[in-house]
Structure 1
Amino acid sequence: MSLQDSDSHFQRLREQTPESESYHERAREVTPLGVESNVRSMDPYPFYLGEAEGSYVTDIDGNEYLDFLMGLGPGILGHNHPAVVEQVKAQVEKCGDISALPQTVAIDVMEQIRDMTPSIETVRLANSGSEATMHAIRVARSYTGKSMIAKPEGGYAGAHDYALQSVSASVEALGPEERPNTVPYGTGIPDEVAETVVAFPFNDREATEEILREHADDLACVVIEPVLASCGVLPPADGYHEFLRELTAELDIVLLWDEVMTGFRLGPESAQGRFGVTPDMTTLAKVAGGGYQLGAFGGREEIMREIEPPADDPEAAWRESAFHGGTYNGHPVSCAAGLATLELLDGEPVYDHIEPLADRLFTGLEEAADEAGVDAAVQHIGSMGTVFMMDEVPETQRETWEADADRFADWWFEAAANGALFGNDDQYERFFTAYSNTEEQIDEAIEIAEDAFRAIADE
């Protein structure tokens, strides 16, 4: 029997959150699942936010939680960092709504992104990570004149049809691990789209090379998260990205790194600086916007030039350039928040603070699980990590299927009932340390986690 069916923490949470339960009843009348995004859904209902500050969030019932979810990743500084709030307020007072005229703050943040990202020579802005990958794939197709893309099984690259392929499915649908099928994630995606996407197994060099060579003549790009983050946190095997960089260069395939999650999270130069590998194109969001709606994509200038209509025949734009547009691109408030965040990351010892705290947290979680006698494989890189309820650390998405998702949810709810949010109740979700965290907060979180491990061990 799951703890969710018992009278333990789950019942306590229901008793602690009557306002959230009441609000959720209203929400179900106006929106599917009662939430704005499927990933925010929780059984039987989510906590509704009241306030957020620094390392803490408070729900509408007044319950305070140490928050390591941090907005699914953007909150690298913590909630409402004073420098970000100051810049946002200043921009709102100057011109906070959309003008349809270029605003200088957008140029400022694009310069900052370019200067901090090794692969980016020129860049464009969007409103989300999904938009960024959608436009980047289109530009790569325009540049190469090819229509197919390749992505790793288990990798997430946005919520558009081309990216929602082989994110997750049954083993029967996915087929052999060395030669995975391309499988749409969810309904409403035309079967024909899957025919333009090639899936390959992450961290398997031999199989990856065989598949990419087979389809090289038709592949515009390989789009890949440098650390697979939609199925927990799966770092690359030693040499895998170096091998993939050499192979795509040899085959004239654009290497597109989706750094929406890892961008500026794994260092001031993102994952590409950490791993010492420079892709042809990069997509960014989350941390780049400092908690506001900002996405970006960029890369080598010759590739990004595909967006420009021919100067001698601008009327030929429809057939000779890759369209990129959007009313809210470069929204001044988002740009102000992103600029303030990136300037702090570039100028203050943020990573020297958050990464030792992450080592302390994730090492402490593993030790706490061991002390409680619970099989838990804790995986982290930099300031991001996750807990798999299994005895060995996984290297591929299929290996993560051996983890006990129900047990993770039981542990998560137990910890939440005592005041700490280790991501959300889905063990594939990541959680993070932030600049606002202190050693005392980390130690408090480990104590809460250990109590939760002991509770599920007793069950």
Structure 2
Amino acid sequence: MSLERESDHFDALRERTPKSEAYHERAAAVTPLGVESNVRSVDPYPFYLGEAEGSYVYDIDGNRYLDFLQGLGPTILGHGDERVTGAAKDQIDRCAEVAAVPQTVAIEYMEKVVEMTPSIETVRLANSGSEATMHALRVARSYTGKSKIAKPEGGYAGAHDYALQSVYASEDALGPAERPNTVPYGTGIPDEVSETVVAFPFNDREATEEVLREHAEDTAAVILEPVLASCGVLKPRDGYHEFLRDLTEELGIVLIWDEVMTGFRLGPASAQGRFGITPDMTTFAKVAGGGFQLGGFGGREEIMAEIEPPEGEDEEAWHASAFHGGTYNGHPVSCAAGLATLELLQEEPVFETIEAYAEDLFSGLQEVADDVGVDATVEHVGSMGQVFMMDESPETYRDTWQADADLFEDWWFEAAAKGALFGNHDQFERFFTSYSNTDEQIVEALEIAEEAFRAVK
């Protein structure tokens, strides 16, 4: 999203990026905001990427940045890992196009997903996390015969109309914390869609139970990220996931864990393996494709069977099932890259390595912020984390409103100008360590972070 103000702290970055500034005029002439996605927009302009390798990205001005954004999370092994790109290149030589018949590499990839993911008995593929959650919700509605879904306020579950509800909004619009209103994020979303979505407060067990019991008869699914990553990094507290697993099972509501961000990031069995919870359905993307366009959804076999038409081959039989399709589903190049990535996650000490780096990075960020005297709380789970510009650890989405977003933006710009990307400029995003990091890079990152804290102090 675009910043509401242009920070003076952008000036140092502006001096380093004259080619990006000029290129922005060219880009803005052909696409809104001069970017491919609203989240890449920065006032007065973004820097444009030239190259990426390992733990670094390079802009078109030739500046090098130590990159903890890592493509918003997919490149867990680092940019351009030769084993992943090599698998993609080999597949291009064999068959780079989607055919009208299944391709074996997609089946092999899905076998690996089923092997690694506790909740997934059968699986289908898509091209993005948004597609994955859209299809999963449709299948859950079909399975239950109910029309509503429930999601936590402050939670993101994709860019389709049913998911773009109560992601960001004012306190007045959201209403009472215990009984939040459902508020569409942005225009162009019909009121009738918003009426099918119920919002509840993440980490508030009592309020969550009241909301879900009230709407249980009409609610097909609860969909949530196991770690809310759309409002920084918000951890589950006090047995919240265990409580929600028991409650949805009691009420006959399908529990969907949106592991687009956490899937294969928080361990080989994803967040569900880390937390010991088995949802009914799971969505995934990002790390799952190794940096290529790939997403999917899966779950219990009886739920996924909703995709299969009942016996009979007439047209009416196909209309009696939940439709799932897409020309590029299971794209062979993406599946080859994704399969190579998942195999490497199993074969090498990836998680031990990146989580050790993460512990050093995120604990170090807390230390340097404290030393400089900046009010900051650093939260992290595994290899993903965020710096909240506030002096207490947030437990709920509304707690995060106390964070100083302007201060975070200023700090981020100062760090970027010095050569490190701690995610992006949005206080409510997150950043990551990768397998390509080194101890020396973590030390360098902390030195830059400390300089940036001092600059904004």
Q: Which bracket does the TM-score occupy, shorter chain normalised?
A: over 0.9
In 1, Cα distance between the equivalents of 2:12 and 2:378? Answer: 27
* CA contact 1:76–1:265 (8 Å) conserved in 2: yes
Structure 2 residue 220 is the aligned partner of structure 1 residue 220 = yes
Give me the TM-score of the superposition, normalised by structure 2: 0.98
Structure 1, residues 399-438: CA drift from partner, whole Å, max 9, x if none? 1111111110110010001100000111111100000001
In 1, Cα distance between the equivalents of 2:425 and 2:431? Answer: 11
* CA contact 2:310–2:318 (8 Å) conserved in 1: no
**SS at structure 1 position matched to 2:66:** strand
Partner of 1:167: 167
Residue correspondence of structure 1 range 5-404 to structure 2 within 5 A: 5-6=7-8, 9-404=9-404
**SS at structure 2 position matched to 1:30:** coil
In 2, Cα distance between the equivalents of 1:411 and 1:312? Answer: 62
Partner of 1:421: 421
In 1, Cα distance between the equivalents of 2:382 and 2:420? Answer: 20
* CA contact 2:12–2:414 (8 Å) conserved in 1: no
- Could you list the runs of 5+ residues in structure 2 that have no partner in the other structure? none
- Could you list the runs of 5+ residues in structure 1 that have no partner in the other structure? none
Size of the aligned set, in residue pairs, is 454
- Displaced runs of 4 or more, over 4 A: 2-5
Offset of residue 312 of structure 1: 2.6
In 1, Cα distance between the equivalents of 2:7 and 2:334? Answer: 42
**SS at structure 1 position matched to 2:29:** helix
In 2, Cα distance between the equivalents of 1:311 and 1:318? Answer: 9
Structure 2 vs 1, CA of residues 317 and 25 (structure 1 numbering), >3 Å: closer, same or farther? farther
In 1, Cα distance between the equivalents of 2:199 and 2:16? Answer: 45
Structure 2 letter corresponding to 1:61: D
Structure 2 letter corresponding to 1:189: I
* CA contact 2:16–2:63 (8 Å) conserved in 1: yes
* CA contact 1:3–1:10 (8 Å) conserved in 2: no
**SS at structure 2 position matched to 1:150:** strand
**SS at structure 1 position matched to 2:402:** coil
Offset of residue 10 of structure 1: 2.3
Offset of residue 268 of structure 1: 0.2
Offset of residue 314 of structure 1: 4.1
Structure 2 vs 1, CA of residues 375 and 3 (structure 1 numbering), >3 Å: closer, same or farther? farther
Structure 2 vs 1, CA of residues 292 and 272 (structure 1 numbering), >3 Å: closer, same or farther? same
In 1, Cα distance between the equivalents of 2:376 and 2:334? Answer: 38
Structure 2 letter corresponding to 1:337: A
* CA contact 1:309–1:316 (8 Å) conserved in 2: no
Offset of residue 317 of structure 1: 3.4
* CA contact 1:4–1:410 (8 Å) conserved in 2: no
Structure 1 letter corresponding to 2:255: L
Structure 2 letter corresponding to 1:26: R
Structure 1, residues 228-265: CA drift from partner, whole Å, max 9, x if none? 01000001012100010011111111000000000000
Structure 2 letter corresponding to 1:93: D
Structure 1 letter corresponding to 2:231: C
Offset of residue 219 of structure 1: 0.7
Residue correspondence of structure 1 range 433-452 to structure 2 within 5 A: 433-452=433-452
In 2, Cα distance between the equivalents of 1:85 and 1:196? Answer: 42
* CA contact 1:53–1:79 (8 Å) conserved in 2: yes
In 1, Cα distance between the equivalents of 2:327 and 2:108? Answer: 19
* CA contact 1:55–1:437 (8 Å) conserved in 2: yes
Structure 2 vs 1, CA of residues 302 and 5 (structure 1 numbering), >3 Å: closer, same or farther? closer
In 2, Cα distance between the equivalents of 1:10 and 1:427? Answer: 16
* CA contact 1:310–1:316 (8 Å) conserved in 2: no
* CA contact 2:232–2:429 (8 Å) conserved in 1: yes
Offset of residue 316 of structure 1: 2.2
**SS at structure 2 position matched to 1:385:** strand
Offset of residue 318 of structure 1: 4.5
* CA contact 2:161–2:189 (8 Å) conserved in 1: yes
In 1, Cα distance between the equivalents of 2:173 and 2:456? Answer: 33
Identity between Structure 1 and Structure 2 (%): 77
Structure 2 letter corresponding to 1:351: F
Structure 2 letter corresponding to 1:59: D
Structure 2 letter corresponding to 1:334: S
Structure 2 vs 1, CA of residues 319 and 98 (structure 1 numbering), >3 Å: closer, same or farther? closer
Give me the TM-score of the superposition, normalised by structure 1: 0.97
Structure 1 letter corresponding to 2:92: V
Structure 1 letter corresponding to 2:228: L
**SS at structure 2 position matched to 1:344:** helix
* CA contact 2:205–2:240 (8 Å) conserved in 1: yes
Structure 1 letter corresponding to 2:355: E
Structure 1, residues 348-387: CA drift from partner, whole Å, max 9, x if none? 1100100011000000101111111100110000000000
